[in-house]
Amino acid sequence: MTNPLTPEQEAALVAAIKQAEITTSGEIRVHLEDTCPTPEPLDRAAQVFADLAMHKTAQRNGVLFYMAWESRQFAVIGDIGINSMVPDDFWETTKETVLQLFRAERYVSGLEQGVRMVGEQLQRYYPYNAATDKNELDDSISFGDSKPPRV
């Protein structure tokens, strides 16, 4: 996969993740790949969520932002812990907020806004506890190559 982000954009996204996680025990990841290998991006997001072992956080409060860059597909998915706490329309509202910025070709801003929104909910339901919390997942952007190998 070709990284669609400049080094500055990637650093800004990682900084947004770190900032969102500073007040919560929750974990946020961003995964980018060229194309989505499944018909539904939410299905692919669930696969990536599992591949990144995001379901192994102590409080099951991980959240993944998934984006297939070239095929322009996006999903956001949360683990069972956070999913059971947020309002029913939270994921759809977050997705639509991000997509509004994507439509204006403000991709990094869209992801940053989504990360902030998720961070606020994670802080509300899973506030940071200095005695017990640790960073359970890498904050860096993960990249995948969903294109099948050439034979």
pLDDT digits (tens, 9 = 90+) for 130-145: 888 889 999 999 998 6
The domain locations on the chain are 7-128
* CA 45 vs CA 12, 48, 85: distances in Å: 22, 5, 20
- On the question of pLDDT at 129 being above 50, the answer is yes
What percent of the chain stands above pLDDT 70?
94
pLDDT digits (tens, 9 = 90+) for 99-120: 999 999 999 999 999 999 999 9
Q: What is the pTM of this model?
A: 0.92
Fold entry, domain 7-128: Diaminopimelate Epimerase; Chain A, domain 1 (3.10.310)
Question: 53 in the Ramachandran plot: left (φ > 0), alpha (ψ -120 to 50) or beta?
Answer: left
Over residues 16-24, mean pLDDT = 95
pLDDT classification of 28: cutoffs 50, 70, 90: very high
Question: 75 in the Ramachandran plot: left (φ > 0), alpha (ψ -120 to 50) or beta?
Answer: beta
Closest CA to 140 of 41, 5, 47: 5
Q: What is the CA radius of gyration of the chain?
A: 15
User: Are the C-beta atoms of residues 113 and 65 closer than 8 Å to each other?
Assistant: no
